[in-house]
Amino acid sequence: MKKAVVLLIAVLAGLVWWWTGSAPKKSMQRPASVVNVVAPRQAELASEIEGVGTAQARASINLTSEVDGRLLSVNFKEGDKVKAGAKLVALDDRIARAQLARADAQLADARAAWERAQQLKSSEVLSKAEADTLQAGLLSAQADRDAAASTLADYTVRAPFAGVVGLRRVNTGSYVKSGDVLTTLDDLDELEILFSVPEKHLGQIASGQTIFVESSSYPDRVFDAHLSQIDTRVDPVNRTVTVKATMTNTERLLLPGQFLNVRLLTGNRLALMIPEQAVLTEGASSFAYVVNDSTAERREVKTGVREQGWVEVLSGIALDEQVIVNGHARLGTGSKVDVREDASALMPDTQRAFLNEPAFQDQ
Protein backbone atom coordinates (compact mmCIF):
# COMPACT_ATOMS: atom_id res chain seq x y z
CA MET A 1 0.00 0.00 0.00
CA LYS A 2 2.82 2.41 0.91
CA LYS A 3 4.60 1.63 -2.34
CA ALA A 4 1.44 2.50 -4.31
CA VAL A 5 1.13 5.89 -2.53
CA VAL A 6 4.79 6.78 -3.20
CA LEU A 7 4.39 5.77 -6.85
CA LEU A 8 1.26 7.93 -7.16
CA ILE A 9 3.05 10.98 -5.69
CA ALA A 10 5.97 10.55 -8.09
CA VAL A 11 3.61 10.38 -11.09
CA LEU A 12 1.77 13.54 -9.99
CA ALA A 13 5.07 15.41 -9.50
CA GLY A 14 6.18 14.44 -12.96
CA LEU A 15 2.94 15.65 -14.48
CA VAL A 16 3.31 19.04 -12.69
CA TRP A 17 6.89 19.41 -13.90
CA TRP A 18 5.90 18.57 -17.47
CA TRP A 19 2.99 21.04 -17.41
CA THR A 20 4.92 23.99 -15.94
CA GLY A 21 8.03 23.41 -18.06
CA SER A 22 6.20 23.25 -21.36
CA ALA A 23 3.90 26.23 -20.70
CA PRO A 24 4.87 29.42 -22.65
CA LYS A 25 6.64 32.07 -20.46
CA LYS A 26 5.40 35.61 -20.38
CA SER A 27 7.87 38.37 -21.20
CA MET A 28 9.16 40.28 -18.11
CA GLN A 29 11.08 42.98 -20.04
CA ARG A 30 10.77 46.49 -18.41
CA PRO A 31 9.21 49.17 -20.63
CA ALA A 32 11.45 51.97 -21.90
CA SER A 33 11.87 54.94 -19.53
CA VAL A 34 10.69 58.32 -20.80
CA VAL A 35 13.58 60.84 -20.70
CA ASN A 36 14.50 64.30 -21.92
CA VAL A 37 17.94 64.93 -23.37
CA VAL A 38 20.08 67.93 -24.24
CA ALA A 39 23.33 68.36 -26.12
CA PRO A 40 26.30 69.81 -24.17
CA ARG A 41 27.07 73.46 -24.90
CA GLN A 42 30.34 75.30 -25.15
CA ALA A 43 30.65 78.56 -23.22
CA GLU A 44 33.46 81.00 -22.52
CA LEU A 45 34.27 81.09 -18.81
CA ALA A 46 36.69 83.18 -16.83
CA SER A 47 39.63 81.20 -15.48
CA GLU A 48 40.02 81.96 -11.79
CA ILE A 49 42.35 81.09 -8.94
CA GLU A 50 40.54 81.19 -5.61
CA GLY A 51 42.18 81.85 -2.29
CA VAL A 52 41.91 83.52 1.09
CA GLY A 53 43.83 86.61 2.08
CA THR A 54 44.43 89.09 4.86
CA ALA A 55 44.04 92.83 4.50
CA GLN A 56 46.73 95.19 5.67
CA ALA A 57 47.11 98.96 5.46
CA ARG A 58 49.50 100.43 2.90
CA ALA A 59 51.31 102.00 5.88
CA SER A 60 50.61 101.03 9.49
CA ILE A 61 52.51 101.71 12.72
CA ASN A 62 52.19 101.83 16.49
CA LEU A 63 52.97 105.36 17.63
CA THR A 64 55.29 105.14 20.62
CA SER A 65 57.16 107.55 22.87
CA GLU A 66 60.90 107.93 22.29
CA VAL A 67 61.53 109.28 25.80
CA ASP A 68 60.24 108.99 29.35
CA GLY A 69 57.98 111.78 30.55
CA ARG A 70 54.60 113.00 31.72
CA LEU A 71 51.90 113.44 29.09
CA LEU A 72 50.83 117.08 28.78
CA SER A 73 48.31 116.93 25.90
CA VAL A 74 46.65 114.61 23.40
CA ASN A 75 45.89 116.58 20.24
CA PHE A 76 43.70 114.11 18.34
CA LYS A 77 40.37 112.36 18.53
CA GLU A 78 40.08 108.65 17.98
CA GLY A 79 39.32 107.95 14.33
CA ASP A 80 40.61 111.34 13.12
CA LYS A 81 42.25 111.54 9.71
CA VAL A 82 45.49 113.48 10.18
CA LYS A 83 48.09 114.92 7.82
CA ALA A 84 51.75 113.98 7.75
CA GLY A 85 53.62 115.93 10.42
CA ALA A 86 50.55 116.66 12.53
CA LYS A 87 51.30 117.09 16.27
CA LEU A 88 49.52 114.26 18.06
CA VAL A 89 50.98 114.02 21.58
CA ALA A 90 53.10 116.40 23.70
CA LEU A 91 55.16 115.40 26.76
CA ASP A 92 56.60 117.62 29.47
CA ASP A 93 59.75 118.99 27.81
CA ARG A 94 60.96 121.59 30.33
CA ILE A 95 64.20 119.78 31.10
CA ALA A 96 64.89 119.21 27.42
CA ARG A 97 64.34 122.89 26.67
CA ALA A 98 66.77 123.86 29.45
CA GLN A 99 69.37 121.47 28.05
CA LEU A 100 68.92 123.02 24.60
CA ALA A 101 69.36 126.51 26.05
CA ARG A 102 72.58 125.45 27.75
CA ALA A 103 73.81 123.87 24.52
CA ASP A 104 73.01 127.12 22.64
CA ALA A 105 75.04 129.12 25.19
CA GLN A 106 78.00 126.76 24.95
CA LEU A 107 77.85 126.92 21.17
CA ALA A 108 77.81 130.72 21.23
CA ASP A 109 80.84 130.78 23.55
CA ALA A 110 82.75 128.33 21.35
CA ARG A 111 81.91 130.30 18.22
CA ALA A 112 83.10 133.57 19.83
CA ALA A 113 86.38 131.96 20.90
CA TRP A 114 86.94 130.63 17.40
CA GLU A 115 86.29 134.03 15.84
CA ARG A 116 88.84 135.67 18.20
CA ALA A 117 91.35 132.98 17.32
CA GLN A 118 90.89 133.75 13.63
CA GLN A 119 91.85 137.39 14.32
CA LEU A 120 94.92 136.41 16.34
CA LYS A 121 96.01 133.82 13.80
CA SER A 122 97.10 136.51 11.32
CA SER A 123 99.43 138.13 13.89
CA GLU A 124 100.94 134.74 14.73
CA VAL A 125 100.16 135.23 18.45
CA LEU A 126 98.09 131.97 18.48
CA SER A 127 99.77 128.68 17.71
CA LYS A 128 98.30 126.22 15.22
CA ALA A 129 97.71 123.68 18.01
CA GLU A 130 95.68 126.17 20.03
CA ALA A 131 93.66 127.10 16.92
CA ASP A 132 92.90 123.42 16.23
CA THR A 133 91.73 122.97 19.82
CA LEU A 134 89.33 125.90 19.54
CA GLN A 135 87.98 124.59 16.21
CA ALA A 136 87.35 121.16 17.75
CA GLY A 137 85.58 122.83 20.65
CA LEU A 138 83.30 124.66 18.22
CA LEU A 139 82.43 121.47 16.35
CA SER A 140 81.77 119.66 19.64
CA ALA A 141 79.49 122.45 20.88
CA GLN A 142 77.56 122.33 17.58
CA ALA A 143 77.09 118.55 17.91
CA ASP A 144 75.89 118.95 21.53
CA ARG A 145 73.41 121.57 20.41
CA ASP A 146 72.08 119.33 17.61
CA ALA A 147 71.67 116.41 20.08
CA ALA A 148 69.78 118.63 22.54
CA ALA A 149 67.48 119.85 19.77
CA SER A 150 66.80 116.27 18.67
CA THR A 151 66.02 115.24 22.25
CA LEU A 152 63.60 118.14 22.61
CA ALA A 153 61.81 117.09 19.38
CA ASP A 154 61.29 113.59 20.84
CA TYR A 155 58.96 115.07 23.46
CA THR A 156 56.48 115.82 20.67
CA VAL A 157 54.98 112.83 18.79
CA ARG A 158 54.00 113.66 15.21
CA ALA A 159 52.31 111.66 12.44
CA PRO A 160 55.02 110.33 10.09
CA PHE A 161 52.47 109.99 7.27
CA ALA A 162 48.86 110.86 6.55
CA GLY A 163 46.40 108.37 7.96
CA VAL A 164 43.74 107.54 10.53
CA VAL A 165 44.58 107.39 14.23
CA GLY A 166 43.13 104.56 16.27
CA LEU A 167 42.21 104.21 19.92
CA ARG A 168 44.43 106.09 22.32
CA ARG A 169 46.17 104.01 24.96
CA VAL A 170 47.10 106.81 27.40
CA ASN A 171 45.49 109.82 29.07
CA THR A 172 46.67 113.35 29.79
CA GLY A 173 48.77 113.46 32.95
CA SER A 174 49.90 109.85 32.80
CA TYR A 175 53.60 109.00 32.90
CA VAL A 176 54.86 107.12 29.86
CA LYS A 177 58.14 105.37 29.26
CA SER A 178 60.17 105.03 26.11
CA GLY A 179 58.55 102.42 23.87
CA ASP A 180 55.04 102.70 25.34
CA VAL A 181 52.33 102.61 22.64
CA LEU A 182 50.30 105.82 22.56
CA THR A 183 47.97 105.01 19.64
CA THR A 184 48.01 103.52 16.15
CA LEU A 185 48.19 105.16 12.73
CA ASP A 186 46.97 103.48 9.51
CA ASP A 187 46.75 104.69 5.94
CA LEU A 188 43.34 103.24 5.03
CA ASP A 189 42.86 104.92 1.65
CA GLU A 190 44.56 101.95 0.02
CA LEU A 191 44.72 98.39 1.30
CA GLU A 192 47.10 95.60 0.47
CA ILE A 193 45.86 92.00 0.41
CA LEU A 194 48.31 89.15 0.89
CA PHE A 195 47.38 85.62 -0.18
CA SER A 196 49.07 82.45 -1.43
CA VAL A 197 48.90 80.89 -4.88
CA PRO A 198 49.93 77.26 -5.61
CA GLU A 199 53.19 77.10 -7.55
CA LYS A 200 51.50 75.28 -10.46
CA HIS A 201 49.76 78.57 -11.32
CA LEU A 202 52.96 80.64 -11.50
CA GLY A 203 52.85 80.72 -15.29
CA GLN A 204 49.31 82.12 -15.25
CA ILE A 205 49.75 85.13 -12.93
CA ALA A 206 51.21 88.56 -13.68
CA SER A 207 51.12 92.06 -12.23
CA GLY A 208 48.03 94.05 -13.17
CA GLN A 209 45.58 91.12 -13.28
CA THR A 210 42.09 91.76 -11.90
CA ILE A 211 41.16 90.35 -8.50
CA PHE A 212 37.66 90.17 -7.03
CA VAL A 213 37.56 90.55 -3.25
CA GLU A 214 34.66 89.46 -1.03
CA SER A 215 34.12 89.89 2.69
CA SER A 216 31.57 88.26 4.99
CA SER A 217 30.98 91.76 6.39
CA TYR A 218 29.43 92.81 3.05
CA PRO A 219 27.98 89.60 1.53
CA ASP A 220 26.27 91.42 -1.38
CA ARG A 221 29.30 93.41 -2.50
CA VAL A 222 32.38 92.57 -4.56
CA PHE A 223 35.45 94.82 -4.36
CA ASP A 224 37.92 95.28 -7.21
CA ALA A 225 41.66 94.94 -6.72
CA HIS A 226 44.74 94.40 -8.88
CA LEU A 227 47.72 92.13 -8.50
CA SER A 228 50.67 94.39 -7.67
CA GLN A 229 53.53 92.15 -6.58
CA ILE A 230 54.65 88.51 -6.70
CA ASP A 231 57.11 87.26 -4.10
CA THR A 232 60.57 86.26 -5.27
CA ARG A 233 60.45 82.88 -3.50
CA VAL A 234 58.24 79.81 -3.36
CA ASP A 235 57.59 78.37 0.08
CA PRO A 236 59.37 74.97 0.02
CA VAL A 237 57.03 73.56 2.68
CA ASN A 238 53.57 74.18 1.19
CA ARG A 239 54.72 74.91 -2.41
CA THR A 240 52.95 78.25 -2.69
CA VAL A 241 54.05 81.76 -3.57
CA THR A 242 52.79 84.83 -1.71
CA VAL A 243 51.29 87.58 -3.85
CA LYS A 244 50.12 91.08 -3.00
CA ALA A 245 47.05 92.86 -4.36
CA THR A 246 46.17 96.52 -3.90
CA MET A 247 42.72 98.09 -3.76
CA THR A 248 41.30 101.54 -3.07
CA ASN A 249 39.46 101.85 0.22
CA THR A 250 38.41 105.48 0.35
CA GLU A 251 35.09 104.46 1.91
CA ARG A 252 37.03 102.71 4.69
CA LEU A 253 34.70 99.72 4.60
CA LEU A 254 37.48 97.18 5.00
CA LEU A 255 40.01 97.27 7.83
CA PRO A 256 43.53 95.88 8.24
CA GLY A 257 43.55 92.33 9.55
CA GLN A 258 40.24 91.28 7.95
CA PHE A 259 39.84 87.82 6.44
CA LEU A 260 38.94 88.08 2.74
CA ASN A 261 38.02 85.70 -0.08
CA VAL A 262 39.82 86.48 -3.34
CA ARG A 263 39.37 85.37 -6.94
CA LEU A 264 42.26 86.07 -9.30
CA LEU A 265 41.25 86.25 -12.97
CA THR A 266 43.89 84.69 -15.22
CA GLY A 267 42.01 84.77 -18.55
CA ASN A 268 39.13 83.05 -20.38
CA ARG A 269 38.66 79.45 -21.47
CA LEU A 270 36.18 77.50 -23.63
CA ALA A 271 34.29 75.10 -21.36
CA LEU A 272 31.90 72.18 -21.99
CA MET A 273 28.67 72.79 -20.04
CA ILE A 274 25.64 70.64 -19.23
CA PRO A 275 22.55 71.43 -17.10
CA GLU A 276 23.30 70.76 -13.45
CA GLN A 277 20.19 68.52 -13.08
CA ALA A 278 21.92 66.06 -15.41
CA VAL A 279 24.68 65.45 -12.86
CA LEU A 280 23.98 62.90 -10.11
CA THR A 281 26.16 62.07 -7.15
CA GLU A 282 26.94 58.80 -5.43
CA GLY A 283 29.29 59.14 -2.51
CA ALA A 284 32.30 61.17 -3.61
CA SER A 285 31.78 60.53 -7.34
CA SER A 286 29.57 62.28 -9.88
CA PHE A 287 27.98 60.74 -12.95
CA ALA A 288 25.54 61.43 -15.77
CA TYR A 289 23.62 59.38 -18.32
CA VAL A 290 24.00 59.66 -22.10
CA VAL A 291 21.80 58.07 -24.77
CA ASN A 292 23.40 55.62 -27.16
CA ASP A 293 21.08 53.81 -29.63
CA SER A 294 18.01 54.33 -27.40
CA THR A 295 19.94 52.91 -24.46
CA ALA A 296 21.11 54.73 -21.35
CA GLU A 297 24.83 54.65 -20.58
CA ARG A 298 26.20 55.79 -17.24
CA ARG A 299 29.33 57.97 -17.35
CA GLU A 300 31.46 59.12 -14.46
CA VAL A 301 32.22 62.81 -14.88
CA LYS A 302 34.63 65.31 -13.39
CA THR A 303 32.97 68.67 -12.87
CA GLY A 304 34.26 72.22 -12.59
CA VAL A 305 32.55 75.53 -11.92
CA ARG A 306 28.81 76.13 -11.83
CA GLU A 307 27.10 79.05 -13.56
CA GLN A 308 23.36 79.82 -13.48
CA GLY A 309 22.15 76.21 -13.48
CA TRP A 310 24.95 74.86 -15.70
CA VAL A 311 27.97 72.87 -14.62
CA GLU A 312 31.32 72.55 -16.35
CA VAL A 313 32.29 69.01 -17.39
CA LEU A 314 36.04 68.47 -17.37
CA SER A 315 35.92 64.81 -18.45
CA GLY A 316 33.50 61.95 -19.16
CA ILE A 317 31.21 63.47 -21.82
CA ALA A 318 31.84 64.62 -25.39
CA LEU A 319 30.33 67.59 -27.17
CA ASP A 320 28.37 65.48 -29.69
CA GLU A 321 26.61 63.24 -27.12
CA GLN A 322 23.05 63.48 -25.83
CA VAL A 323 22.81 63.91 -22.05
CA ILE A 324 19.73 62.87 -20.06
CA VAL A 325 18.41 65.75 -17.95
CA ASN A 326 15.06 64.32 -16.78
CA GLY A 327 13.80 60.79 -16.17
CA HIS A 328 16.80 59.40 -14.27
CA ALA A 329 14.67 57.31 -11.91
CA ARG A 330 15.46 53.58 -12.10
CA LEU A 331 17.96 54.12 -14.93
CA GLY A 332 21.08 52.03 -15.26
CA THR A 333 23.59 51.18 -17.95
CA GLY A 334 21.73 49.30 -20.67
CA SER A 335 18.26 50.59 -19.75
CA LYS A 336 16.01 51.28 -22.73
CA VAL A 337 14.88 54.90 -23.01
CA ASP A 338 12.16 56.72 -24.91
CA VAL A 339 13.41 60.25 -25.74
CA ARG A 340 10.67 62.88 -25.63
CA GLU A 341 10.91 66.52 -26.67
CA ASP A 342 10.11 69.03 -23.91
CA ALA A 343 11.78 72.42 -24.32
CA SER A 344 10.64 73.76 -20.93
CA ALA A 345 12.02 70.70 -19.14
CA LEU A 346 15.36 70.96 -20.90
CA MET A 347 16.22 74.56 -20.15
CA PRO A 348 14.34 76.65 -17.60
CA ASP A 349 14.60 80.43 -17.99
CA THR A 350 17.56 80.73 -15.59
CA GLN A 351 19.60 78.33 -17.71
CA ARG A 352 18.55 80.06 -20.92
CA ALA A 353 19.79 83.36 -19.49
CA PHE A 354 23.28 81.87 -19.12
CA LEU A 355 23.29 81.01 -22.83
CA ASN A 356 21.71 84.37 -23.79
CA GLU A 357 18.70 82.55 -25.24
CA PRO A 358 15.09 83.85 -25.00
CA ALA A 359 12.83 82.48 -22.31
CA PHE A 360 10.60 79.52 -23.25
CA GLN A 361 7.05 80.53 -24.17
CA ASP A 362 4.42 77.87 -23.39
CA GLN A 363 2.00 77.71 -26.30
Among 2.40.10.340, 3.30.1600.10, 2.40.50.100, 1.20.1090.10, name the CATH number for the domain at 69-91+156-186.
2.40.50.100
Task: State the CB neighbour count (10 A cutoff) for residue 67.
Answer: 17
> Residue 130 and residue 117: Cα distance in Å, rounded?
9
- Average pLDDT estimate for 265-279: 87
CATH code given to domain 93-154: 1.10.287
- DSSP structure string for 61-82: EEEE-SS-EEEEEE---TT-EE
Which CATH topology does 50-59+187-268 take? Answer: Elongation Factor Tu (Ef-tu); domain 3 (2.40.30)
Q: What are the two backbone dihedrals, phi and then psi, of residue 47, each rounded to the nearest 5 degrees?
A: -85, 125
Region 168-183: mean pLDDT is: 92
What SS3 class is residue 312? Answer: strand
Q: What is the pLDDT of residues 50-64, one digit of tens each?
A: 899 999 999 999 999
Start-to-end C-alpha separation, the chain: 82
Question: Per-domain residue ranges for the chain?
Answer: 33-44+271-354, 50-59+187-268, 69-91+156-186, 93-154
CA angle 65, 70, 76 (to 5 degrees): 65
Environment class of 167 (CB within 10 Å of its CB; exposed 0-12, middle 13-18, buried 19+): exposed
Instruction: Place 131 in a pLDDT band, splitting at 50, 70 and 90.
Output: confident
Task: Tell me the pLDDT tens digit for each residue of 286-307.
Answer: 888 888 888 888 889 898 888 8
Check residue 210 and give its pLDDT. Answer: 92
CATH number of 33-44+271-354: 2.40.420.20
Q: What is the mean pLDDT of residues 341-350?
A: 59
pLDDT top residue among 111 and 128: 111
Position 46 scores a pLDDT of 80
- pLDDT tens for 228-265 read 999 999 999 999 999 999 999 989 999 999 999 999 98
